[in-house]
Chains A and B, each alone.
Chain A
Amino acid sequence: MTETELRQTIKQALSNVAPEVDVDAIDPAKDLREQIDIDSVDFLNFVIALHKALGIEIPDADVPKLGTLSGCVSYLAAKIEKGQ
């Protein structure tokens, strides 16, 4: 999976929990939850969607690493590379 494809997968997962948000306008460095106003339930659904889309287990301790779009890309790319 290329980084572009991964980024698109992440944006799709975000669209599913916040359909009214223009995911292309998200600042990759800013906190996702604050930026698109999602709560803990939405965020858990987002993490579950990533897990299902990518087949990657995301330990609870790692969830804070998914706080930004850039963080998501870095973390998930590394997991994909390691085959986790």
Chain B
Amino acid sequence: MPSLGADMQFGTIVDWRVKPGDTVQRGDVVALVETEKGVIEVEIFESGVIDSLVVQPGQKVPVGATLATLGGDGKKIEPQPAAKPVTPPAAAAPVKEEIAPAKVATVRAAEESARLRVSPLARKRAQELAVDLSTIAGTGADGSIAIADVERAAESAKTPTPAVAPAAKGLDLGAMRRVIAAAMARSKREIPHYYLSTTIDLSKALAWLAAENAKRPVTKRLLYSALLIRAVGVALRSTPELNGFWKNDEFKAGEGIHIGLAISLRQGGLINPAIHDVDKKNLDELMENMLDLVNRARTGHLRSSELSDGTITVTNLGEQGVETVFGVIYPPQVALVGFGKITERPYAANGMVGARPMIDATLAADHRVSDGHRGGRFLLAIDRLLQEPEKL
């Protein structure tokens, strides 16, 4: 069971995409796993032939447990002790033990007739909330129904649908909120943050972007966020101590520049999947990746590598009206870059004052790994890169 974030402790196999004897290549999606952050497509990290499936759909196991064994080149990986399914806590107990017979029949009949793909936890939640699964459109991988879908359906049934998006769940509700709370508490408890901020003139970047977009069809248009992400990625080349992980009391530099994007989910909560190798991609590729990632994050089609590989996080709260972001580092990462909203502000240059579009860029970094001098150089590099957008 891969760790899909510092806050993940357990995962439940929803479905296998492979069977014993299947040949798999590194990166193939082999299973669907439900976590507190939704249903995730799990990719295999070695090529070979599936030998056996150790964990069955519906079983909840801890991070690190062996899910399957893989052979193919003469090697056979034996299951580790951790593969034993955990005894689920009350909230995750097997459905059949808790559902009243009549409701079991209803749920099962609905499943069989419509061939619904429902995660075990979602099925249990549906029983608790008396929601008919056959009436729900799943947003998980391949349309599978996740807990969030069930809770939305239950909420819709209780009250007329509001004209605006429902508010995010309260702090005491929702598994996702709890895991975010755990990760952020760990971050603030263990990571000695330091914060730096700079204000960047975006005149040239926005002018370049407007001219570029005027030439492009709508399907190829660029958002300014792509420029910011690209600038961060390139700037990290010269500041590797901000790109990586703090593990076992030492820093391990990232093997690539994989930028996690803090993406708010429409049903509430936050997830930060990564775009891989940002410094090696041009703006068109980055834009395409960004649109794809946001769409999949919001429809529950993320892959395990996207949740586990991020080497730094970028959060842009400018659209929410925030001027300056004071971020909390997502452990085990060691830095987070925040961007606020673009505002016209007085700007003095060559003895003249004018109004220019400005943005506050902030860095929250781990003082165990870097210091303000290096952090400052990093922000300066981002600024310089954004003054020459045509080179990004």
Contacts and interface: CB of A to CB of B under 8 A. Distances in A.
A19 B148 CA distance: 13
Contacts of A35: 163-164
B266 interface: yes
Interface of A: 18-22, 25-27, 35-37, 39-42, 44-45, 47-48, 51, 57-61
A18 B266 contact: yes
A48 B164 contact: no
Nearest to B217: A57
B345 interface: no
B95 interface: no
25 contacts: A18-B165, A18-B266, A19-B139, A20-B166, A20-B266, A20-B267, A21-B163, A21-B164, A22-B160, A26-B163, A35-B163, A36-B163, A36-B164, A39-B319, A41-B223, A42-B294, A45-B295, A47-B218, A48-B218, A51-B217, A51-B219, A57-B218, A60-B213, A60-B221, A61-B214
Nearest to B295: A45
A37 B267 CA distance: 11
A36 B290 CA distance: 21
Contacts of B266: 18-20, 37
Interface residues of B, number: 27
Contact of A37 (B161, B164, B216, B221): B164
Contacts of B161: 20-22, 25
A19 B156 CA distance: 12
Nearest to B214: A60
A26 B163 CA distance: 6
A44 B221 contact: yes
Interface of B: 139, 152, 160-166, 210, 213-214, 216-219, 221, 223, 225, 264, 266-267, 290-291, 294-295, 319
B216 to A, nearest CB: 7
Given A20-B266, A40-B319, A48 B225 contact: no
A37 B209 CA distance: 24
A27 B163 contact: yes
A41 to B, nearest CB: 5
Given A39-B319, A47-B218, A61-B214, A21 B165 contact: yes
A42 B217 CA distance: 17
B371 to A, nearest CB: 34
Contacts of B214: 59-61
Contacts of B213: 60
Contacts of A58: 218
A45 B117 CA distance: 27
Contacts of A18: 165, 266
Contacts of A42: 294
Contact of B225 (A26, A40, A45, A57): A40
The 4 residue pairs across chains A and B that have the minimum distance between CB atoms: A25-B163, A22-B161, A60-B213, A37-B165
